[in-house]
Structure 1
Amino acid sequence: MRLALALTLLATPALAGVEEAVNAWILPGVAAFAESAGTLARSAAGDCTADALRPAYLAAWEAWAPLADIRLGPSEAGALSIAYWPDERGAGARTLRGLIAAEDPAGLDPVAYAEVSAAARGFPALDLLLGDPDLSGYSGGSYACRLVQTVAADLAVQAEALAEGWQAEAQALTTAGAEGNAEYLSPDEAFRAIYTQALSGLEFSADTRLGRPLGEPGTPRPTRAEAWRSGRSLPNVAASVESAVGLARELADGPIPATEAALDQVHHAEAAIDDPSFQDLADPTARLKLEILQQRIRALIDAMEAEVGNPRGLQPGFNSRDGD
Structure 2
Amino acid sequence: MNSKLFMCALPIVLVGCQAELNQVATPEQTGHASQGVYLVEFAAADRFRQQADLLQHQVAQYCATSSDIAAVQEQWHQTMVSWMALQGQERGPQAALEQSWNIQFWPDKKNTTGRKMGALVRQNKSDWQAGDIATQSVTVQGVGAIEWLLYDTLSNFQVSDNTCQLGVAISQNLAHNAQKIADAWQTNPWVTLEANDWNSEYIAMLSNQLDYSMKKLSRPLAKVGKPRPYFAESWRSQTSMVNLKDNVIAMKAVYQANGDGLDAQLRQRGKGALADRIVDQFELTIETWPTDQSLFELLQTKQGYQTVMSQYNKLERLNYLIHEEVAIELGVVIGFNATDGD
* Offset from partner CA, 1:66-103 (integer Å, 9 cap, x none): 11122332232111110111122322222211111012
Q: Which letter does structure 2 place at the counterpart of 1:115?
A: T
1:42 is aligned to 57
1:292 aligns with 2:310: yes
1:200 aligns with 2:218: no
Cα distance, 1:319 vs structure 2: 7.3
Cα distance, 1:129 vs structure 2: 0.9
Structure 2: how far apart are the matches of 1:93 and 1:162? 26
Cα distance, 1:266 vs structure 2: 1.5
Structure 2: how far apart are the matches of 1:292 and 1:237? 14
Number of aligned residue pairs: 293
Structure 1: how far apart are the matches of 2:336 and 2:132? 41
RMSD: 2.5
SS class of match (2:186): helix
TM-score (norm 1): 0.83
Map of 1:237-316 to 2, 5 A cutoff?
237-250=244-257, 251-252=261-262, 253=265, 254=267, 256-271=275-290, 274-305=292-323, 308-316=326-334
Q: Where in structure 1 are there 5+ consecutive unaligned residues?
A: 1-14, 178-185
| Alignment counterpart, residue 211 of structure 1, candidates 218, 240, 259 | 218
1:16–1:290 distance in 2 versus 1, CA, 3 Å: farther
SS class of match (2:296): coil
Cα distance, 1:16 vs structure 2: 6.8
1:233 is aligned to 240
Structure 2: how far apart are the matches of 1:69 and 1:219? 26
1:226–1:116 distance in 2 versus 1, CA, 3 Å: same
Structure 2: how far apart are the matches of 1:320 and 1:47? 39
Cα distance, 1:284 vs structure 2: 0.8
TM-score (norm 2): 0.78
Structure 2: how far apart are the matches of 1:237 and 1:223? 16
Higher relative contact order (CA 8 A, sep 6+): 1
SS class of match (1:315): coil
1:129 is aligned to 149
1:62 is aligned to 81
* Offset from partner CA, 1:198-242 (integer Å, 9 cap, x none): 111111211x21012212111121121101222321122112222
Cα distance, 1:17 vs structure 2: 4.2
Q: Which letter does structure 2 place at the counterpart of 1:281?
A: L
Map of 1:134-153 to 2, 5 A cutoff?
134-139=154-159, 142-153=161-172
Structure 2: how far apart are the matches of 1:86 and 1:322? 14
Instruction: Give the % identical residues.
Output: 20
